[in-house]
Chain A
C-alpha cells in the first residue's frame, strides 16, 4: 500500500496518469488492479519476463507494434453485453460495436498468438464464428447493416424498392415538367408558395385546374401542393408498403442475430476483459520505451540501483536547462542514514528511491540502467514540510501521527523519512530519531532516514551515506570569484556539487562544508569567523 500523501510526494499519481492507457477496458482493468506485494515475487518476475520478451519481439517488428497500438486506439468496448439477456433485443449500433470490437480483437490476436498472455477458457476460434455471423458478405471491414444475405426476401424487397424509386422519380419529374410547361412555372419539388396580393390570379388559375391543392394559407401567402396522378400516388403507397415489410424483416433479423450473438456472450465478455489486460501491457511497453527502462531483478535483500532516474524531476531540470544526475547506490543494510549539506540532494535521493520502488508494485519497468530490489508491501514517505499550512496539527505532530499509523502496517515495509523531527529541539530530535532507528532494526524494516543530526549508533546493520560532495577543486576554483552576484555564485555552487551517495564510516558523520559555503556566498566574515570557532569547540567537546 502506498498512502495518498506518499503517492503525492513521490509523484506516483503523476506517474500513473502518465501511463498511456488507450481503451475503456484498459482503464477498467487498471482501476481494479491490485498492486504486487512481497508474496508475488515469482508472479511479478514472470510478468516482467513477458513484458520484456514482448518488447524484444516488437523491437524487431516495430510495424506490428504500431499496428497493435493503432488497433487498441480504435477498438470498441462491449461491456454493455454483460447486462443483455434473453429478454433483450440488440439494436443495429450494438451489432456494429460488437463487429468493430471483433475486427480489431482478431487482428490483435493474430499478432499476439505466439505469446501466452493470459489463459482464456474458450477456443478463440469461437470468436471467428461470431465474426462470420456479423459479416455475411465476407468483407474485411467493420461497417454493419442488416445485410440482404440474412434473408432472401429482404434482398428482393430492397431491389423492388430500388426499381420503384427509379421509376417513381422519373414519373414525378415528368409530371412536374408537364405542369411547368402547362402553367409557365418553375417547380422542382411538389410545393410552391405564392403571394396572395401579387399572384392572386396565378393561385386561382392553379387551383381551378385541379392539379394543385392548398397546403397552407395565411394573410400573405398561399402554399400550394401538387396533386400527383393516381399512378404516382400508388408508387408512394407501394414504397410505404415495401418499407413496412423491410422493417418487419429487419426486426426479425435483429431478434435472430441477438439470439445467436448472446450464445457467445461469455466468450465476448472474456475477450473484452482480455483487451483491458493487453492494453495495460502495451501501456507498460510504451513506458519502457519512452523512459528507457530496465527489467528489475527481484531479490530478497538489499537495494542496488544503477543510474535510476526520478523522471519527473529530470524533466523539470531539463526544462530549466539544468543537467540531471541519475542515482547510483548500493544499499545492503536495512537501516540507512543519509547525511549531507543543504541543497545536496538528500530529499531527491530519498524520493528517487521511493519512486523507483513503487514501480514494482505496479509491475512497471524501471527507469534505470539496472535495479535489484525486493517488492515492498508498503511504502511510506514522510516529511514535515508537506504539512506546513495544511493541517491544524503542527507539522511535527501530524508526521508523528502518520508514522505511528504506518508502523502498524503488516508486511515488508519501506520507510523513507526526510529529516524527521527537524522542527523540534535537537536533543529530543536526536533521541526520537535514534528510537525510530532502534525500532526499525528490531522489526526488520527497511528504512532510509535523512538528517542533519548526528544519529550515529553502533550497529553493523546500519549504513551511513553522505549525499553529495563538492568537487575537489571547488574552493580553489572560487578563490577569485568574490565579485560575482549572489545568484551567479549559487549557480556555480549547484554546478560543483556531485549528487552521489557515498557510504561512509562512523567518523565522518557530520559534514562541515556549510560554513565554507556560507563564506563563499558572501556571508558577513565576522559571523563566519565566529562560526568556525564554535565548530572547533563542538569538535573538541567543549560545548
Chain B
C-alpha cells in the first residue's frame, strides 16, 4: 500500500480540491482516505460544515464519525480513536457520494488508520492533512507528498516562489543509511557505524544534556527521534552551527518549525539528513483565497513551471498536471 499525504502550509490552499482530482485519476485503485488537522473543539455546526466535500467512488474507504455518513456506506469497523464527536469509524462507499470526512485529531493516531487500511489490502492511502506546527507530525509511514500553496498564504508570486523553494529544499534533504546501526532512540554516532551513545531522554527539555554529550564525544551525527521545534530552535543554531555535525531526523515531517526558522536552518549551514526520504510528488497551486488575496492564475502557474521544471505543478482549477 502506498501512502500519499496532501499537505499544505495553510488552510484553504486547495488540498481537498486536489484530492478530488487525484481520486478521479486513480478511480481504478483501492483507495482509503483520511484526514488530519481538525481542530478538536470543532463543532458540527460551524467550521466543519464549511469544509469542502470529497467525491468518493464505490469501493473507496473513508473515515468518519457516527451519524455523519447516513446512506450508501458499509460500516466496516470502529477504531479506538476518540474525538469530541465520538470514535472514528471506517466506512466503505457503496456508490458515488460527496462527503465530508473526519480523521484523527492527532497524527500518531493516523498510524492506526494506516494499519486498518493496510489490513484491508488497499493500493493507496491518501491523507488530506494540514501541516500543523502545534504538534508532532508522525508521518513516518508516508511515501509521497503533494505540497499545496496559494493565495491564502501570500498574494505575491515572488514570495510564494521563495516559500516553495524552501519546502522543495526540505524534500531534498539527503537520506542517510547508517551502516549497521539500528536507530531506535536518539543517538550520537559516527559514519563508520560506531554508536557512541543512545539517549533515552527526549530532546525537548533536555537540549543541554544533548549538547554536553556532543562536546564530550564529538560525534559526526546526532539523531533526534522526535521533532525539531521552534521552542528549542535558537539553542540548536547557537550550539551546533560551528560543529562539524550532521543532524539526522526520521523524515522531513519531523521538522516542525515555522517558515522563518526553516529558512534560518538552511542558512545556518547545519547539515541535515533524514532516515526516510519522502518524495515530493507535486506542487499544488491555488490562486484563489477566501480572504481576497487572489493571484493571477496564468502567471502563477507559468512562473512555478519555470522555476520547478522537474516537479509536477498543478493549478487546482486549470486541470493541468500529472
Give the contacts of A244-260 with B (CB-CB under 8 A): 246-247, 250
Contact A165 B96 (CB under 8 A): yes
Nearest A residue to B75 via CB reads A96
Measured in the bound complex, the distance between the Cα atoms of B294 and A196 in whole Å is 12
Contact A193 B297 (CB under 8 A): yes
Measured in the bound complex, the distance between the Cα atoms of B46 and A511 in whole Å is 79
Report if B29 contacts A (CB, 8 A): no
A143-160 contact mask (Cβ, 8 Å, vs B): 1 or 0? 111100000000000100
Give the contacts of A189-223 with B (CB-CB under 8 A): 189, 191-199, 216, 218-221, 223
Report if A93 contacts B (CB, 8 A): yes
Give the contacts of B69-113 with A (CB-CB under 8 A): 69-78, 89, 92, 94-96
Measured in the bound complex, the distance between the Cα atoms of B287 and A196 in whole Å is 12
Contacts of B297 in A (CB 8 A): 193-195, 220-221
Contact B78 A96 (CB under 8 A): yes
Given contacts A97-B78, A100-B78, contact A198 B296 (CB under 8 A): yes
Given contacts A191-B317, A192-B319, A221-B288, contact A198 B74 (CB under 8 A): no
Main SS of chain A's interface residues? mixed
Contact B75 A189 (CB under 8 A): no
Nearest B residue to A215 via CB reads B317
Measured in the bound complex, the distance between the Cα atoms of B297 and A26 in whole Å is 60
Closest beta carbon of chain B to A269's beta carbon, Å? 19
Contacts of B295 in A (CB 8 A): 220-221
**Set B69, B96, B292, B317: member contacting A192, Cβ < 8 A:** B317
B287-306 contact mask (Cβ, 8 Å, vs A): 1 or 0? 11000101111110000000
Contact A193 B94 (CB under 8 A): no
Contact A193 B288 (CB under 8 A): yes
Report if A188 contacts B (CB, 8 A): yes
Contact B320 A186 (CB under 8 A): yes
B53-78 contact mask (Cβ, 8 Å, vs A): 1 or 0? 00000000000001101111111111
Measured in the bound complex, the distance between the Cα atoms of B317 and A144 in whole Å is 38
Contacts of A243 in B (CB 8 A): 71
Closest beta carbon of chain B to A160's beta carbon, Å? 11
Report if A92 contacts B (CB, 8 A): yes
**Set A165, A186, A196, A247: member contacting B296, Cβ < 8 A:** A196
Report if A187 contacts B (CB, 8 A): yes
Contact A146 B71 (CB under 8 A): yes
Closest beta carbon of chain A to B169's beta carbon, Å? 28
Contact B75 A92 (CB under 8 A): yes
Given contacts A91-B67, A194-B298, contact A158 B74 (CB under 8 A): no
Contacts of A191 in B (CB 8 A): 317
Measured in the bound complex, the distance between the Cα atoms of B76 and A143 in whole Å is 5
Contact A143 B74 (CB under 8 A): yes
Given contacts A188-B24, A189-B24, contact A218 B78 (CB under 8 A): no
Measured in the bound complex, the distance between the Cα atoms of B301 and A221 in whole Å is 12
Contact B71 A246 (CB under 8 A): yes
Contact B74 A189 (CB under 8 A): no
Report if A377 contacts B (CB, 8 A): no
**Set B21, B72, B320: member contacting A246, Cβ < 8 A:** B72
Contact B70 A189 (CB under 8 A): no
Report if A277 contacts B (CB, 8 A): no
Given contacts A91-B67, A218-B294, A220-B297, contact A145 B75 (CB under 8 A): yes
Contacts of A145 in B (CB 8 A): 73-75, 94
**Set B67, B294, B298, B319: member contacting A187, Cβ < 8 A:** B319
Contact A221 B74 (CB under 8 A): no
**Set B21, B67, B74, B287: member contacting A188, Cβ < 8 A:** B21
Nearest B residue to A187 via CB reads B319
Report if A161 contacts B (CB, 8 A): yes
Nearest B residue to A217 via CB reads B294
**Set A161, A188, A196, A199: member contacting B319, Cβ < 8 A:** A188
Of the A-B pairs whose beta carbons lie under 8 Å apart in the complex, a sample of 16, sorted by A's number, is A91-B67, A92-B69, A97-B78, A100-B77, A143-B74, A145-B74, A165-B95, A189-B21, A193-B287, A193-B315, A196-B296, A197-B299, A199-B298, A218-B294, A221-B294, A246-B71
Known: A144-B74, A197-B298. 8 other contacts (CB 8 A): A145-B74, A158-B95, A191-B317, A192-B319, A195-B297, A220-B295, A220-B296, A221-B317
Interface positions of B (Cβ within 8 A of A): 20-21, 24-25, 66-67, 69-78, 89, 92, 94-96, 287-288, 292, 294-299, 315, 317-320
